[in-house]
Structure 1
Amino acid sequence: MKVYIVDDEEGKAQNIHEFMHRVVPECQIEIYRSFQKGLRALITSPPDLLLLDMTMPTYEVGPRESGGRDRRYAGREIVRQLKRKKLSVPVIVITQYEQFEEGGKDVDLDTIRNELLDKFPDNFVDAIYYNASDSQWMLTLERLVLPILVPAE
């Protein structure tokens, strides 16, 4: 089983990686830290599950690279591209933000969740609010990934 984590926040991505290895030890996990790298990997070699941040830089950040502009809704765009390319990859969004700004208005995570469920029902599974000091995200993630990665016998 192959799982991709597309998230630019190193600490968060590492916490998710470690948690996934505890829950599903046999899964192979790859981490991508930008919109472009994540999208390229998804198209080239689709995983069994995508754990996706909503906001990230366009390109990988490096010693001489700023990462380009931040894409506030990079996660939504990646899910849109999966649908456009007819790639059947289950997606769980894991974000540190409860609110997003769109067109000068605040949009909450539940609104984003409902939009993604409505527009991308074949790919989008759910959205999880990540808080490093609270274990709720782990309970929710485990509940969502086990039926996808460990089918009932």
Structure 2
Amino acid sequence: MSLKFLIVEDNYHKRERVISFLKEKYSECLVVEAHSFTAGCQRVLEDQFSAIIMDMSLPTYDKSPTESGGRFRTFGGRELSRKIIKRNSGAKILFITQYESFSDRGRSLSFEALDEELSRECGMAYLGLVYYDSSKSLWKEQVVKFLGGINENTCG
């Protein structure tokens, strides 16, 4: 069985770059997309994945020319990770974000503090938190490093 990734990302350009990189690095992989918190939840319930790679901040619903995506969830990826762990699917979780710090409802977290909290909350499912900067390639190296333990038999 080949690697199967779920990408939960609302930003088209970032999503396409991550998918392109995964297909280049893992030529036999299958990539499933979700563009919002709700779509990510649906995919997790419908299927098994080797790893779920997601943004930290997500709209509630898929955006369209006539839909705004609903409430923006600063920690939407974190909320989704809790559902993944509760489901006990065996999928590994990797976060990729463009933000260096996060603030929601008066609570602020640095990148490092969030990484520590996610590691504690996700336990063995947690692969890491990657800082995505489209002008640099460091994110690619980090993705490879964090996905290093994933193998063909990891899917569900």
TMscore range, shorter length: over 0.9
Name the amino acid aligned to 2:94: I
Does the aligned pair in 2 maintain the 1:79–1:123 contact within 8 Å?
Answer: no
Paired residue type of 2:16: Q
Q: Report Cα offsets for 1:52-76 as digits up to 9, x if no partner.
A: 1000100000122111010110010
TM-score w.r.t. the length of structure 1 is 0.93
Contact conserved, 1:50 with 1:92, CA < 8 A, in 2?
yes
TM normalised by structure 2 equals: 0.92
Q: Which one of the candidate residues 101, 104, 107 is aligned to 2:103? A: 101
Secondary structure in 2 matching 1:149: coil
Q: Which amino acid aligns with 2:74?
A: R
Distance in 2 separating the partners of 1:85 and 1:34 = 19
Letter in 2 for 1:3: F
Tell me what 2:43 maps to.
41
CA distance in 2 between partners of 1:32 and 1:86 (Å): 20
Query: What per-residue deviation string (whole Å, max 9, x for no partner) do you get for residues 61-102 of structure 1?
Result: 012211101011001001111122222110100000011003
Q: Deviations along 1:86-133, whole A, 9 cap, x unmatched?
A: 221101000000110034243111111100111210321100000000
Partners of 1:35 and 1:74 within 8 A in 2:
yes
Q: What secondary structure does 1:139 align onto?
A: helix
- Determine which of 72, 86, 89 is the counterpart of 1:87: 89
Please list every run of 5 or more consecutive structure 1 residues that lacks an aligned counterpart in the other structure.
Answer: none
Which position in structure 1 is the counterpart of 2:141?
139
RMSD of equivalent CA atoms: 1.3
Flag the structure with more relative contact order, 1 or 2, with Cα contacts below 8 A and sequence separation at least 6. Answer: 2
| 1:3-152 map, 5 Å | 3-149=5-151
Residue type of the alignment partner of 1:6: V
Any stretches of 5+ residues in structure 2 without a counterpart? none
